[in-house]
Structure formats: C-alpha cells, structure tokens
Amino acid sequence: MHRPVLLVVAHGSRDPRHAATVHALVRRVRALRPDVRVETGFLDFNLPSVQGVLESLAEEARREAPHRGGGGRRRGVRDVVALPLLLTRAFHAKADIPAVLADAPPQLRIRQAEVLGPSPLLLAALERRLYEAGLSPADKSSTGVVLASAGSTDPEAIAVIADIAREWRHTGWCAVRPAFASASLPRTEDAVRELRALGCARVAVAPYVLAPGFLPDRIARGAAEADVLAGVLGPAPEVARVLLERYDAACLPVPAALGA
C-alpha cells in the first residue's frame, strides 16, 4: 500500500523569497521521510497552483488504474493529505483551502491536516532563530521577547498567539509580548517599547512567520529599536518535524462515531 501523498499548501507571494523558503522546507521534509511523496501547491501568486497539483495527481490515478475484464476501466483513487502551511487556524485554513479541496477531482480522496501551530517544536524553532541571531540561553532571564506574527481578523487566531506568548514566558524569558503586523494590535514597535519600559536589559523580536514577504518585512521595520531580530522560521528542522507530525496524525484511521 502506498502512503498518502503529502500536499503542502502554501499561501504564495509576489516576493520570490517566499516560494524559495517553502521549497527549502519541503526539501527538508523529503530528506526526513523519503518514504513519503511530498508535493507543493500555492493558493496564489506562485506555481504550481493547488488546483494544478490536484489535477496532476488525479491524472496519474486515472493512468494507473488497472483494467477490468471485458474492456471496462476502473477509476483509480489516490489518497492525499493536504497540509496547510499555516501557523494558526484563520480564514485560509477555515475557508480558502477547504473550498479548493472541495473542487478536487473524484479520483482523489483528501484529508485536510491540522495547521502547524501551536506546537512545542515551533517554540524550539523560535529559540533556535534567536540563538542564531546572537542570543544565548544565558541571556533568557534578562531578555524580553516580542512574538511577532502576521496578524488576523480571526479572534481564535489572535487568542492562540496570546496563549503562545504566555506559555513561552514560562520557559525563562524576562517577558514575552505578542505583536501583529496587520489587522490587530499591538504592532511590533509598540511591544518593543513596552518591554523597554518593563526594564528588560535587552529586547529581541522573534517573527512567528514561516517565510519572508510583505508582512515579515513590516515586522523587521518594527524591530528597528530592538537589540536582536531573529530570522523567520523557514526550513528549521523543528518546523519540518511538525509537518510530519501533522501528516502522520491525518493518516490515522478516522474513529467510528459513537452509536454507529
């Protein structure tokens, strides 16, 4: 039996750094699990599109379908796990992606995996990026961190970012404050100033974003008064492991309904 195809669904961007980072992450996932076929599709701006990848997989299933006796042909079926390359469950995960998957060809049997966050592995990736930017574990107790995300109009997504900031604070940082590049407040620069006012010896900004682009650049501009600006999560090994955790969970059998 073939394992389901892992289709990584990325948002896409006019910024070429975005697609390059997504492809680097997917290469790391492939290296970790060579037994899993991994494809990438973009919702907008970049190719291949999600629709294009789905059509290609369906065509493969049609070609590979065994022939029936009597000249008829049985349609093949390909199992696919569609994994949103998103850190929170907001509009794209709740509306855009399900709508695209609903229009998939009938040769595909698709499950939508959960988004990547929250996860302890993502906190580990954030710390990796901060240490790569110049901090050390010994700096934690005197450093305030701005957890800077893209932002959303979805209250659930905003609450998740606030919860992550509270959880991360308990790992030893002087303080952790959430911030948003759009749609919500506070902005990165305001959170930096708040941490200064709290008396943190240094302030670091940790972008809680997966790839470079317009909003990550806004986060970077807002970090002008910070002492440290970490890189985006990108192809960090912890992020690749989260992808595979979500994939494996989506591959598990669906429990039967009670009373069925």
Per residue in 1-22, pLDDT (tens digit) is: 589 999 999 999 999 999 999 9
| Range of the structural domain that residue 205 is part of | 120-233
Q: Are residues 139 and 224 in the same domain?
A: yes
Residue 67 banded pLDDT, cuts 50, 70, 90: low
| The amino acid at 190 | D
Q: Are residues 184 and 81 in the same domain?
A: no
On the question of pLDDT at 69 being above 50, the answer is no
* 260, part of any domain: no
Q: Are residues 100 and 125 in the same domain?
A: no
Number of domains in the chain: 2
Give the per-residue pLDDT at 72: 41
Q: Are residues 146 and 227 in the same domain?
A: yes
* 29, part of any domain: yes
Mean pLDDT over 182-204 rounds to 97
What distance in Å separates the CA atoms of residue 41 and residue 46, rounded to the nearest whole number? 8
Average pLDDT, the chain: 93
* 159, part of any domain: yes
CA 118 to chain centre: 10
What distance in Å separates the CA atoms of residue 134 and residue 130, rounded to the nearest whole number? 7
pTM of the predicted model as reported, rounded to 2 decimal places: 0.93
Q: Are residues 42 and 73 in the same domain?
A: yes
Give the per-residue pLDDT at 91: 83
Q: Are residues 214 and 244 in the same domain?
A: no
Q: Are residues 39 and 60 in the same domain?
A: yes
For residue 111, give the DSSP letter. Answer: E
* 162, part of any domain: yes
* 209, part of any domain: yes
Q: Are residues 183 and 194 in the same domain?
A: yes
Q: Are residues 36 and 22 in the same domain?
A: yes
CATH number of the domain encompassing residue 34:
3.40.50.1400
Give the per-residue pLDDT at 4: 98
Q: What is the percent of the chain with per-residue pLDDT over 90, rounded to a whole number?
A: 89
* 258, part of any domain: no
Q: Are residues 134 and 215 in the same domain?
A: yes
Residue 59's alpha-carbon distances to 9, 62, 65, in angstroms, are 19, 5, 10
* 51, part of any domain: yes
On the question of pLDDT at 61 being above 50, the answer is yes
Q: Are residues 29 and 88 in the same domain?
A: yes
In sequence order, what are the residues at sequence separation of 6 or more whose Cβ sits closer than 8 angstroms to the Cβ of residue 66? 74, 76
Residue 255 banded pLDDT, cuts 50, 70, 90: low
Q: Are residues 109 and 165 in the same domain?
A: no
* 256, part of any domain: no
